[in-house]
């Protein structure tokens, strides 16, 4: 599955919107893409080659972290 979203620039008022004020935003002719594909490795991987980032996590550890958030407990990875 491939998802994409358009780029944007907020020219004025980015933080002001949290206080109910207006902001001026414009769309850019750029897009961000996310490709999701299954992996038999039991891991979730994030690769951002444009900025040199590669991270991965074991699925069971992420599931334990999720249960910890749902139960109000903090667990570290």
* pLDDT tens-place string over residues 20-53: 999 999 999 998 888 878 777 888 888 888 888 8
The answer, yes or no, to whether residue 54 has pLDDT greater than 80, is yes
Instruction: Answer yes or no: are the C-beta atoms of 23 and 50 closer than 8 Å.
Output: no
Question: How far is Cα of residue 51 from the mean position of the Cα atoms in its chain?
Answer: 15
How many C-beta atoms lie closer than 10 Å to residue 43's C-beta? Answer: 13
pTM: 0.46
The rounded distance, in Å, linking the Cα atoms of 3 and 6 is: 11
pLDDT at 21: 92
Which comes out higher in pLDDT, residue 77 or 50? 50
The answer, yes or no, to whether residue 75 has pLDDT greater than 70, is no
* Residues in CB range of 12: below 8 A, 6 or more apart: 23, 24
């Amino acid at each position: 599955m491939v998802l994409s979203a358009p780029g944007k620039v907020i020219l004025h008022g980015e933080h002001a919107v949290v206080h109910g004020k207006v902001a001026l935003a414009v769309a850019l002719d750029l897009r961000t893409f996310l490709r999701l594909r299954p992996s038999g490795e039991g891991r979730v991987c994030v690769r951002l080659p444009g900025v040199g980032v590669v991270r991965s996590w074991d699925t069971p550890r992420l599931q334990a972290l999720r249960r910890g958030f749902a139960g109000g407990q903090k667990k570290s990875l």
